[in-house]
Structure 1
Amino acid sequence: MVMAARPATRAASAKIPQVAWSEARPAPVVLVSGPEDLLADRAIRRIREMLAAADPSLEVTDLDAAAAVPGDLTTLASPSLFGEPRLIRVTAVERLSEAFLNETLRYLEAPDDGATLVLRHSGGVRGKKLLDAIRGGAGGGIEIACAEVKRDADRSAFASGEFRAAGRRISPGALRVLVSAFQGDLAELASACQQLIADTTGDIGERTVQTYYAGRMETDAFAVADAALAGRTGEALVLLRHAIDSGADPVPIVAALAAKLRSMAKVLDARGAPAKIASEFGMAPWQVERARRDAQGWQAAGLGRAIVFTAETDERVKGGARDTEYAVERLVTFIAARGGTGT
């Protein structure tokens, strides 16, 4: 099954069903919430396709909640002379007009038969009264929460789901390289997956991904750091070389490694809930969880040596070495070996 974003916390206590975007279905009222537009668009498209498959005479109309005036929703939802099913797709609910708010609250008391009202709210506090009403059960609706996909694990699961849905296989190494190459917009990652699916045959390996996206390999310092800390020496060096070839400065790469190593040192022996540890060390709970994942497989002695070697490399890349690129390569190799070799 294709990975679905985790529902927003505030929706967890809602009285209406919480449905994954990949399992979107029609209902009298469908609230599509959260900032991840790609997932929201896919959910809404799935609903449209299901309705059209059930009745090709489906009428589809769009309404801007920010510009709506009294009577807009009522007119669109009302049955026509021939009683075709209606799909009303409403955008910008996070900027809704007062007129749309009042009319929709009335509409929820008795939704029109044959109408499917899809409300897209991308986030923020505006429209909370409407969202609370829907989540409380008014209109007999469902909610599809499209939270932002930020964690590496979730992005990997999303990409893996793209290939699985197409009946294709991608190697773990190729998947890591692909996700590392597209750390920004989820839509870009989805497009990259679809291009590989369309342009290649058979199983997809690292060489194929590198051939297609060598120019898009992630140049961000933290991508190099993530691979090194996970012990993936080859991938870390590939990312480092692409970063440097793309004009990246070695200094921020070393700084990213240093920052992650310091966070790992704080949580390595810490016990308790992430929130408690975060409060103690001035970190966010998600930073604690990430540092704990990074620290898996590390020993205190190796981590200490890595921190010292990183500090020494920091001096080298800031003027103490003739070949700064080689200095960073040595550091990446040393860290990928968990601070045990490479000196």
Structure 2
Amino acid sequence: MASAARRPARGSSGGSARTVIPQLSWRDPQPAPVVLVSGPEEVCAERAIAGLRDYLRAEDASLEVSDIRADDYAAGTLLAVTSPSLFGEPRLVRVSGVEKCSDAFLTEALAYLENPQDGATVVLRHTGATVRGKKLLDAVRAGTGGGVEVPCAAIKRDSDKFDFAAGEFRAAQKRIAPTALRALVSAFSDDVTELAAACQQLIADVPGDVTDQVVERYYGGRVETSAFTVADTAIAGRYGDALIALRHALASGTDPVPLVAAIAMKLRTMARVAGSRESRTALAARLGLKDWQVDIARRDLSGWNETSLGMAIQAAAQADVDVKGGSRDAVFALERLITVIATRAPYGA
């Protein structure tokens, strides 16, 4: 029976108030009497809740789905939608807005945890925007009601966005080149929802592997203006392409300061990786990098030596000073930096 597979999840403390409930990935949520979907990242939360619905519906196509708003709650609703029907169909109850729940919902939800209904899965969505409902969250996390938690932390750092996008392709068993993936992430770095949609479009539309050329064909207008495109073309020694990419980036409103920072970050990573014969996994662990960062840095090092890399790093340091007010012409400072990197020679040589 479906309900038997969703017995209360208990820890080693025998169900005491200090029980810590399981924390599940939003990519692979599992049903339980109560599922707390917490955190601000709405894309992940939507995926988790949809995944739970699909899981339960695959178990029993007669699944009844109900939606409740915790902030506009009518007394008695939770018990009504979770109670067994005449034919005993499984029930999924999705509760939104728990971070702004009414007193009536809070009271009834706490009471429900003490006696969850058999065959019902109650999903509590709390964004973390407020501390409202904390007593309910604490009770769920303590193990009352036999729940699980699906954290949906904010995806803010570039490395988190890269991991998110990589996970999209991995989950679909679709291969994407690391450079293509980074270009895609750079193109949609401001909006995780758009990044997720772009990944899903490529997964759905592209029959084979996703390459740099595929990403360029789909999203070239956005990709070519990214700071990493400028850095990649310059480091690869493509001087003319690097200058064109720089002008496109500046024309599209890219700030010179983060652009120099992106270039400097790539150069520093190359310097840290240079000369090491360790496996990529061992080197990544020692340096605090991801495996893909080591792979890209090693690829980027082709054609570089200690002298040219040191000169480029010094040029990046000078450009950083210049674009932060040290020079009256930030564009010239950027062009000089690109020239040093792409030609691997002192400016004007």
Give per-residue Cα distances to partners, 1:76-131, cap 9 Å, x unaligned.
11111211111000001111111100100000001001110000111131111110
Matches within 5 A, 1:290-329: 303-312=313-322, 318-319=328-329, 324=331, 327-329=333-335
Distance 1:300 1:192, change over 3 A: same
What secondary structure does 1:23 align onto?
Answer: coil
**1:66 aligned onto 2:71:** yes
Aligned to 2:53: 48
Q: Which amino acid aligns with 1:171?
A: A
User: Which of 248, 253, 258 is the aligned partner of 2:256?
Assistant: 253
Give the CA deviation at 1:163. 2.2
Distance 1:118 1:80, change over 3 A: same
Q: Is the 8 A contact 1:35 1:146 kept in 2?
A: yes
Give per-residue Cα distances to partners, 1:129-168, cap 9 Å, x unaligned.
1100000001000000010122222222222222233332
Give the CA deviation at 1:315. 6.6
User: Which of 67, 83, 93 is the aligned partner of 2:98?
Assistant: 93
Runs of 4+ in 1 over 4 A off after TM superposition: 224-228, 230-239, 258-262, 296-305, 312-317
**1:29 aligned onto 2:39:** no
TM-score, structure 2 length as denominator? Answer: 0.72
Aligned to 1:170: 176
CA RMSD of aligned residues (A): 3.7
The answer for unaligned runs of 5 or more in structure 1 is 1-12, 269-288
Distance 1:120 1:309, change over 3 A: closer
Q: Is the 8 A contact 1:217 1:239 kept in 2?
A: no
Q: Is the 8 A contact 1:65 1:97 kept in 2?
A: yes
TM-score, structure 1 length as denominator? Answer: 0.73
Aligned to 1:111: 116
Distance of 1:93 and 1:155 partners within structure 2? 27
Deviates more, 1:135-144 or 1:72-81: 72-81
Distance of 2:217 and 2:346 partners within structure 1? 29
Q: Is the 8 A contact 1:306 1:334 kept in 2?
A: no
What secondary structure does 2:27 align onto?
Answer: helix
Distance of 2:261 and 2:58 partners within structure 1? 55
Distance of 2:29 and 2:102 partners within structure 1? 27
Aligned to 1:84: 89
Distance 1:110 1:309, change over 3 A: closer
User: Which of 134, 159, 165 is the aligned partner of 1:159?
Assistant: 165
Q: Is the 8 A contact 2:230 2:246 kept in 1?
A: no
Deviates more, 1:152-161 or 1:301-310: 301-310
Q: Is the 8 A contact 2:36 2:140 kept in 1?
A: yes
Q: Is the 8 A contact 1:254 1:328 kept in 2?
A: no
Distance of 1:218 and 1:120 partners within structure 2? 38
Q: Is the 8 A contact 1:177 1:209 kept in 2?
A: yes
Q: Is the 8 A contact 1:224 1:240 kept in 2?
A: no
Q: Is the 8 A contact 1:64 1:90 kept in 2?
A: yes
**1:211 aligned onto 2:217:** yes
Distance of 1:129 and 1:47 partners within structure 2? 24
Give the CA deviation at 1:318. 3.2
Distance 1:55 1:313, change over 3 A: closer
The answer for unaligned runs of 5 or more in structure 2 is 1-17, 272-287
Give the CA deviation at 1:61. 0.3
Distance 1:316 1:137, change over 3 A: closer
Distance 1:210 1:34, change over 3 A: same
Give the CA deviation at 1:206. 1.1
